[in-house]
Structure formats: structure tokens, C-alpha cells
Structure 1
Amino acid sequence: MRGAPGGPGGRLRRWRRRGAAERWAMPEHSTLLHLLAGGCGGTAGAILTCPLEVVKTRLQSSQVTLRPLCLSEIQLRGMSVRLMNPAPPSPGVLKLLRAILEKEGLRSLFRGLGPNLVGVAPSRAMYFAAYSGVKERLNAVLVPESKKVHMLSAASAGITSATLTNPIWLVKTRMQLEARVKGEMASNALQCAMHVYRTEGLRGFYRGITASYAGVSETIIHFVIYEALKQQLRNSHHSLSPPLTLSPNSHDFLGLMGAAAVSKTCASCIAYPHEVIRTRLREEGSRYRSFVQTLQLVVREEGPLALYRGLLAHLIRQIPNTAIMMATYEFIVHLASSTL
């Protein structure tokens, strides 16, 4: 009785249907899991590093040398013969941090925290969901877990995340560049967004998007190095048969944090100029119009080193931020995968 409900054939058909249903549900479950893990990781890494984010953005901006933070700038005013020479050195991280505290107060070090908290969770969630989803599909058609897979996955995730969240980051940058006297009320995120819309229209929210796309190169470098280091960790811990995920002990996650820190440091140092160009493009009333024009203008007027302004603050903030974010992401993915 081949078609009997209780016979071997019926059980086989039910098993196949159940397996197909589980396989159909897996991508949806996987996407939700990576959305949750990416969002939690991004939030955990961003909350405590907001002051360094403000300092980094101020250092990247062309406006920092227009304020009386650097005496050499005041002395050089009116000397047009020096315009083609490199600009005076920008204030250091600690000097600018102290100046913001003295002139604007502690609250100014948390300018843009609202948009950051609003944007970091969906941004990281979309990024990790896109990365894992694209990587899963590419593993089926290319050499699994190859550098080509990691590069294409990182590029797709970076472009997706940058396109969808650029308006949030533009508002955050404008708020961080807005210097106010201590005690003076500063505009909130909604007021800033309304001002951008009234003065520049919807297009204004996408200023700097070309620099964000150029910054995908940093994402690619970061994830290629990170995946390679993570594979080395797997091989060193499980030399006989590397599992899909690392065991959930403190040594493994310290290793993941180290891998994230090393990979992010390398990627940031190589691709950092796009950060400066993006900040310049997002300045209000800026004379910077496009990626290439901004690059040429900064190099011509301030010298090549100006493309690395704020790098130290960026590294001090980004290394622990990325380490916390990646370790939190890996931990949540492992925890959810082992319990569900």
C-alpha cells in the first residue's frame, strides 16, 4: 500500500513536506535573527562613544579652524600669500575635547546622540541582515566562505545600509557641527531635519552619499580581514573539524573582539579620507559639491594630511565600538541558534 497514510510512503511524504517547510522558514528566521543581533550590537557599541564621535566630526570639518581654538589661525588671517600652503594644524583630540567642555558644556559632547541611537540599531540591523543574506546566497553559487563571497557580501550590505540611513547620519552630523555657547538652547533632531528640508529639500538629506558609497571599501577590507581572522580562530580551537560557530566561552569572544579590532583598525587607516570628505559634503552652506571636487579642494588648500584629520579620535572610538558590536552580534547569533 504505497499511498497509505500510515505506511512508509506516507511518512516519507510527510517528512519531506515538513523538511521543505522548515527550509522555507529558515531564511526568514535567519534574517530576523541577524536583524536583532546587528541592532543590539550596534546600540551597545555606540552609546558610550558619542563624545569621541562629536570630537571626530569637529576635527573632520573645515569649520574647526575658523573658531578661536588654534592661535596660529588667528595670526595668519589676512595673509593671502599663505592660502596655498597647508592649513595650520588642527587642535588635538584632548585640546578640542577640553575646549568643547569649557565653552559649550558637557551636553555638547552628546550632540547627535538622539539620531545616533535612532539610526545605529536599524543601520546595523539592515547591514548584518543584508550581509548574512547575500553571503548565504553567494555561498551556494561561488566557493563557500571565499574572499570573493565576503567582499561582495560586504559591498552589498554597505550600499544598502548607506542608502537607507543617510538622512539620519546627515542630521547627526549637522547637530554635532552646531557649536553653541554654554547654556544656550541647541536645536533638536526634528528641528534640524525640518531646517534641512526647508532650505535644501529632500535632496539635501542625501548630501555625502557618494562618499558613503566610497566608504564601502572600508567595509569590504574590514570584513575580509575579520572573516579570515575568525577562520583562524576556528581552526586553532577546533583543528579536527571546524564548526559553524565558535563555542560560547570568554576566550572565544575575546578572540572575536580582537579580530574585530585588528580588522577595523586596518580598514579605517586605509579608507579614512572618505570620512573627512563625507563630513565636508554634509556641512551646511558648504562650497563642497562632489566627492572628487571636495578631495581636490581639500588637498589643494590644506594639504594631503588634512584627509586624515580626526583619525586618532576615530580610532579611539571605533576600535572598542567595533569590538563590542561584533562580539555582541556573534554572541546573540550563537545564543539564538543554540536555543531555537
Structure 2
Amino acid sequence: MRGAAGRAGRRIAAQGTGSAAGAPVMSQRSTLLHLFAGGCGGTAGAILTCPLEVVKTRLQSSQLTLRPLCLSEIQLPGVSVRLMNATPPSPGVLKLLRAILEKEGIRSLFRGLGPNLVGVAPSRAIYFAAYSGVKERFNAVLVPESKKVHVLSAACAGITSATLTNPVWLVKTRMQLEARAKGEMASSALQCAMHVYRSEGLRGFYRGITASYAGVSETIIHFVIYEALKQQLRNSHHSLSPSLTLSPNSHDFFGLMGAAAVSKTCASCIAYPHEVIRTRLREEGSRYCSFIQTLQLVVHEEGPLALYRGLLAHLIRQIPNTAIMMATYEFIVHLASSTL
């Protein structure tokens, strides 16, 4: 009996050791899963909404807002006087879209897609992996799944992602602002990056990083609202089927897309000015130097409404982009989790 008890004790101890050893492996698998799911979601959204990204960037740029516009001409005896407006209203989304097509061709609507695809997968992958990992740690020390956990997790993930991928987004912005006539060769991503390095050095790749950090507020608002809506979806699903979590059926899929769209709309409208400031900071030249200086300069020269230039294009692009990205991410995570 004593020998049997000893063998049983050793078997239990061995099982306990195996569980402890398996925990890091499971944690590593979870991180890789979130990296893969986030990358897939971000890539799908970027490809489908690239033309609107180009239009939005052009609208945010000072290249449209600082070009004088002739309003009328007054003829006086021996004198011709033109009245000029220093800050003309920016064109609408459709008008600018049509102008780009007519003057530059359809390929210009996909300018910057290369850096976007290079950057969006690692950016979203880093973001979702950081968010998932940080949230897991905060859940262990704070009230699990509380708003404080979601806020801190989103902030850490946003800062991490922005810091590591800012050079890619700077190159993308420069490419999208480069207007070329039809048939004229545009700069490649590598040529653009080399030009930035030669003219501005390594620091040039981090222009606009302060605005990206300010944009973390948008990410925080987005994820707090999204997590709350997702919890409501989960609760309603539990009330119908208590033994299941969200399953990848069409009802839940579109529910997650709706939650992502609503949360991103609210966040974008509140935090949008940082987008305009970031685009101005990434423009070539030294006119815009810092976050506060750019904010004051834009408001002084163009008025407060200039901080919302391109908002409509941003929403038209961002809502489906975020809905596609978040729903794809959740679907892949659930599908992989259920098969592992």
C-alpha cells in the first residue's frame, strides 16, 4: 500500500510539473495567435480602404489649405484688382476623388499601399498582441475586465505600436502627398525613405510621433466602448445559450462589426484633430515643428474647423476598416482557440 501511495504521489507531482511547464508554451501560442489575427485583420481593412486613405491625407495637408483662391476681379479705371482668399474651403471627398482620378490616374488612389501593407500587419499585430498581453497582466492585479484595465491596456498597446511603426507611416504619408501627373513615375517607398534619411536623418522618420502619442486617446476611447459593447453581446448570447461564448456565426460576426463601427466613430470624432496635426508634422519642410506649435498655427491661420479637415473621408474609410479588422481579428482568435 505504501509503495502504491508513493507511486501515485510521484505521478501527481509529475502532472503538476508538466502543467507548469506547459503554461509558458500556451502563453506563447496565445501571443502568436493574437499577432497573426491582428495582422490579418489590419491587412484586409487596409487593402479595401486605401483610396479613402489617400483622399483623407490630401484633405488634411496644408498643400490644399494654403493655396490662394481667386474669388473675383474688380475692374477700375486703369487698374485691375483681384480679391484673394488666403484660406479657401477644402474640396469635398467626391470632388477631390474625381480630381485625383482625372489628373493623376487610378494608380494614385493606391499610392502608399506598399508601406501600408508593410506596416499595417506588424502594426496591428504588435497592437493586438500588446493589448492582449498587457490586459492579461492587469487583470491579475486589478478588477478583471474593468474599464481601468481596458484603458491602461489600450494606452500601452497604442504607445508601443506607434513607436515601433512611425517610420513606415511617415513614408506612407509622404508618398500619398506626392501629386504626379498621369504617366509620370512616382517615387517608390525605398526612394522616399532614402530621401528622408538624406535630408532629415534618422530623426526625420519620427516626425509626428508626438501626435501619434496624443492619438492614443482615440484608441483608449475606442477600446473602452468596444469592450463594453462586446460584453453586452456576450451577455445577450449567454442568456440564450449559457454554455457557449461568442461563436463565429453570422449574427455574432455582424454584431462585432457593429460594435467596432460604433466605438470607432465615437472615438474618431472626439480625437480627430491629432490626425490633421500629425499629417502636417509629417509634411516635408520645417514649417510645422511641434504638436502645440502646429495646433496653434493651424487654428490661427485657418480657424478651428481646419482641425476637422478630412473627417468625412476618415469616417467613411475608418468605420468599415475598423469593422472589418476587429471582426476578422475576433473570428480568427475564436476559430483558432476552438481548434487548439
So what's the TM-score if we normalise by structure 2? 0.93
Unaligned 5+ runs, structure 1: none
For residue 244 of structure 1, report the CA deviation from its aligned partner.
8.3
2:238 and 2:245 in contact (8 A); partners too: no
Structure 1 residues 307 and 47, CA, compared in 2 at 3 Å: closer, same or farther? same
Counterpart Cα distance in 2 of 1:237 and 1:145? 18
Deviations 1:273-304 (A, max 9, x none): 00000000000014000000000000010000
2:170 and 2:205 in contact (8 A); partners too: yes
Length, aligned pairs only: 333
Identify the range of structure 1 (6-15 vs 239-248) with the bigger mean alpha-carbon deviation: 239-248
Q: Which letter does structure 2 place at the counterpart of 1:133? A: G
Equivalent runs, 1:264-303 vs 2, <5 Å: 264-303=264-303
For 1:35, the equivalent position in structure 2 comes to: 35
SS of structure 2 residue aligned to 1:88: coil
Counterpart Cα distance in 2 of 1:244 and 1:35? 25
Structure 1 residues 242 and 74, CA, compared in 2 at 3 Å: closer, same or farther? farther
Unaligned 5+ runs, structure 2: 74-80
2:238 and 2:244 in contact (8 A); partners too: no
1:119 and 1:168 in contact (8 A); partners too: yes
Counterpart Cα distance in 2 of 1:241 and 1:140? 28
1:334 aligns with 2:334: yes
SS of structure 1 residue aligned to 2:145: coil
SS of structure 1 residue aligned to 2:54: helix
Counterpart Cα distance in 1 of 2:296 and 2:331? 43
Structure 1 residues 134 and 80, CA, compared in 2 at 3 Å: closer, same or farther? farther
For 2:235, the equivalent position in structure 1 comes to: 235
For 1:165, the equivalent position in structure 2 comes to: 165
For residue 48 of structure 1, report the CA deviation from its aligned partner.
1.1
Counterpart Cα distance in 2 of 1:130 and 1:243? 29
Deviations 1:125-179 (A, max 9, x none): 0000000000000000000000000000000000000000000000000000000
Counterpart Cα distance in 2 of 1:247 and 1:186? 46
Counterpart Cα distance in 2 of 1:40 and 1:130? 16
SS of structure 1 residue aligned to 2:239: coil
Q: Which letter does structure 2 place at the counterpart of 1:74? A: C
Counterpart Cα distance in 2 of 1:299 and 1:102? 32
2:163 and 2:209 in contact (8 A); partners too: yes
Counterpart Cα distance in 2 of 1:124 and 1:2? 57
1:234 and 1:242 in contact (8 A); partners too: no
1:34 and 1:132 in contact (8 A); partners too: yes
1:245 and 1:334 in contact (8 A); partners too: no
1:4 and 1:10 in contact (8 A); partners too: no
Counterpart Cα distance in 2 of 1:5 and 1:276? 71
Counterpart Cα distance in 2 of 1:241 and 1:137? 29
For 1:139, the equivalent position in structure 2 comes to: 139
Deviations 1:80-109 (A, max 9, x none): 9965xxx22100000000000001111111
1:66 and 1:73 in contact (8 A); partners too: no
Identify the range of structure 1 (20-29 vs 174-183) with the bigger mean alpha-carbon deviation: 20-29
Counterpart Cα distance in 2 of 1:265 and 1:315? 7
Q: Which letter does structure 2 place at the counterpart of 1:258? A: G
So what's the TM-score if we normalise by structure 1? 0.93
Counterpart Cα distance in 2 of 1:79 and 1:242? 73
Identify the range of structure 1 (196-205 vs 232-241) with the bigger mean alpha-carbon deviation: 232-241
For residue 239 of structure 1, report the CA deviation from its aligned partner.
2.5
For 1:65, the equivalent position in structure 2 comes to: 65
For 1:100, the equivalent position in structure 2 comes to: 100
1:65 and 1:73 in contact (8 A); partners too: no
Counterpart Cα distance in 2 of 1:60 and 1:111? 16
- Where is the strand percentage greater, Structure 1 or Structure 2? 2
1:50 aligns with 2:50: yes
For residue 6 of structure 1, report the CA deviation from its aligned partner.
7.6
For 2:197, the equivalent position in structure 1 comes to: 197
Counterpart Cα distance in 1 of 2:161 and 2:208? 14
